[in-house]
A and B are shown apart, each in its own frame.
Chain A
Amino acid sequence: DARVTQTPRHKVTEMGQEVTMRCQPILGHNTVFWYRQTMMQGLELLAYFRNRAPLDDSGMPKDRFSAEMPDATLATLKIQPSEPRDSAVYFCASGGDRPTDTQYFGPGTRLTVL
């Protein structure tokens, strides 16, 4: 049964360190989304891609966050340098290209920045 996978599942790091989160979308899905979930802000869309091209990254702090899709099977979200306020759960989701298509979520990466 096809699933979105994310690695690592948990990450604890110190402030100032670089963090890279990886996502493998479901094979055949051509849209990929990065979300951040916190208690205070709820679910926030950070960025999304269609056919590996970034379409919207307006939700992402540009000075420290970057998102890429080096190939169709891998999406990455990088934070450099990390800060304690980045502590959150980061979800990747993938879906088809039609407006009726469902987004399917990965299990998330729980990031703690000390």
Chain B
Amino acid sequence: AQSVAQPEDQVNVAEGNPLTVKCTYSVSGNPYLFWYVQYPNRGLQFLLKYITGDNLVKGSYGFEAEFNKSQTSFHLKKPSALVSDSALYFCAVRDAGNNRKLIWGLGTSLAVNP
């Protein structure tokens, strides 16, 4: 069955330090992978996606993600965290059997401390 795991409920980093939010997936075919961010009392905002090609994908607000097929991972990264990056982050994968439906992780709460 297709699934997405975000193994950390919460990640804490100091401002200026690099951050990583982890995501692993399981799909039967080629994965299409997405990251979204949700700020308090807001809708989800699209950050970036991996479709094919270069394993390092660059997105909005200085975020990037690295696709690793052998480890079935798609970790979100940023070289230098900002306090304003504090939010809830969701990873999602397109269901290979239903190419319109996304399978979602449970989210990771990122806290960036000044």
- Taking CB atoms, residues of chain A closer than 8 Å to B99 are 98-99
- Taking CB atoms, residues of chain A closer than 8 Å to B51 are 100
Is residue B14 within 8 Å, beta carbon to beta carbon, of the partner chain? no
Interface SS, A side: strand
Most B CB within 10 A of own CB, among A31, A45, A93, A100: A100
Chain B 45-79 interface mask (CB, 8 Å, partner A; 1/0): 11001010000000000000000000000000000
Contacts of A72-89 to chain B: CB distance below 8 A: none
Contacts of A1-52 to chain B: CB distance below 8 A: 4, 31, 42-43, 45, 48, 50
A65 to chain B, nearest CB (A): 18
Name A30's closest neighbour in chain B (CB-CB).
B100
Q: Report the interface size for chain B: residues with CB under 8 A from the other chain.
A: 21
Cα of A98 to Cα of B32 in the assembled complex, Å: 11
The answer on a CB contact under 8 Å between A105 and B43 is yes
Cα of A95 to Cα of B43 in the assembled complex, Å: 15
Decide yes or no: A91 and B32 within 8 Å by CB, A43-B107, A48-B100, A97-B100 being known contacts: no
Picked from B34, B44, B46, B100, the residue with its CB within 8 Å of the CB of A55 is: B100
Is residue B22 within 8 Å, beta carbon to beta carbon, of the partner chain? no
A4 to chain B, nearest CB (A): 8
- Taking CB atoms, residues of chain A closer than 8 Å to B90 are 43
Is residue B106 within 8 Å, beta carbon to beta carbon, of the partner chain? yes
The answer on a CB contact under 8 Å between B45 and A105 is yes
The answer on a CB contact under 8 Å between A99 and B107 is no
The answer on a CB contact under 8 Å between B32 and A42 is no
